Structure 1
Amino acid sequence: MLRATLLAPLALLIWLEEWGWKPLARVLARWARWPPLARLEARLCRVPPPLALALFIVPALALLPVKLLALWLIHAGRATLGVTVIVIAKLIGTALLGRLFVLTEPQLRHYRWLARAFDAWAATKQRVKASVRASAPWRAARRLVIGMRRWMRRVA
């Protein structure tokens, strides 16, 4: 019971990374085909490790005033607008951080503590995914999806 309780938030975090961070970073990668952005990204790939670390932190700090504005909007009775602003800021921030990470990961790995954190996170992700996939609800849902796909192929 305790394991399932601790596993759920980790599984949610991994799901958000897999279905948020990575796809949004891929969208920005498509935009980076535009020559000016391609040149900027090429420069980002060559920045020294301290600048890479600073660049990785900047989007999070830059969006803080936007998130504070959103909280003020919610407090002022404009909850829908405030939540919308938070969601949009989160999407933009996630896309930027995901793309910056892809571009600067080699430089960020120069910091041993950060490389260890990345590796620990990757190992934790693999363990959580394995636990989730081994769970009865996951296996049941997987059988259901496979059955639905087979049924759809027969019907179509």
Structure 2
Amino acid sequence: MLKTLLTPLRWLIRVLLALLILFEEWGWAPLSRAMARLGQLPLLRRLGPLIRGLPPYAALCLLLLPSLLIIPVKLLALWLVLQGRTLLGLAVVVLAKLAGTALLARLFELIQPALMRLSWFERLYRRWIGWKQGLMDWLHQQALWRSARLLKRRLRRIWARH
């Protein structure tokens, strides 16, 4: 009986997690490319080789930087909301999330080889990739997903005609 009650909840949690992962990945590649272009600026171009050359644990510490940088921005957004400027506060959070994801994507791209030298990190990363792929495979099998993809194709065809 309990299993019957928990099945819809498990389905909902899986869908929400899959959508969160899709959202992150939808932005991950384009934001990483944008940061790579930004990284071509003279000062930032010199940082790339330094970041790539970090030892594994220093690279791991650097990976925490985007999370730490966003804390003051979230406090600013909270202050804006408390001042009655809710939309501005929300905009600050959204922009910070995009910037933080872009920075994290680029940093991870630069330091992934160093991180993979940590056996425990490589094990966790491979496990994460396998779990994520399994979740995405499950999502792609769902009728809701197939219907959404069909609707997207139809809308694209309609848009292309106009």
Classify the TM-score, shorter chain.
0.7 to 0.9
Q: CA deviation at 1:148?
A: 4.7
1:23 match: 30
Instruction: Give 2:148's match in structure 1, choosing from 120, 134, 141.
Output: 141
Query: Structure 1 stretches (4+) deviating beyond 6 angstroms?
Result: none
**Are the structure 2 counterparts of residues 86 and 113 from structure 1 closer, same or farther at C-alpha, using a change threshold of 3 Å?**
same
* CA–CA separation in structure 2 for the residues paired with 1:90 and 1:139: 29
Letter in 2 for 1:85: V
Identical amino acids, percent of aligned pairs: 45
Superposition pairs of residues 73-88 of structure 1, within 5 angstroms: 73-88=80-95
Deviations 1:40-67 (A, max 9, x none): 1122111111211111112211221111
Instruction: Please give the TM-score of this superposition, normalised by the length of structure 2.
Output: 0.84
* CA–CA separation in structure 1 for the residues paired with 2:55 and 2:82: 42
Residues 1:36 and 2:34 are matched in the alignment:
no
1:70 match: 77
1:99 match: 106
Instruction: Please give the TM-score of this superposition, normalised by the length of structure 1.
Output: 0.86
* CA–CA separation in structure 1 for the residues paired with 2:35 and 2:27: 12
1:123 match: 130
Gaps of 5+ in 1: none
Q: How many pairs does the alignment contain? A: 155
What's the C-alpha RMSD, in Å, of the aligned pairs? 2.0
* CA–CA separation in structure 2 for the residues paired with 1:146 and 1:2: 30
Deviations 1:12-37 (A, max 9, x none): 22112211222211111122233432
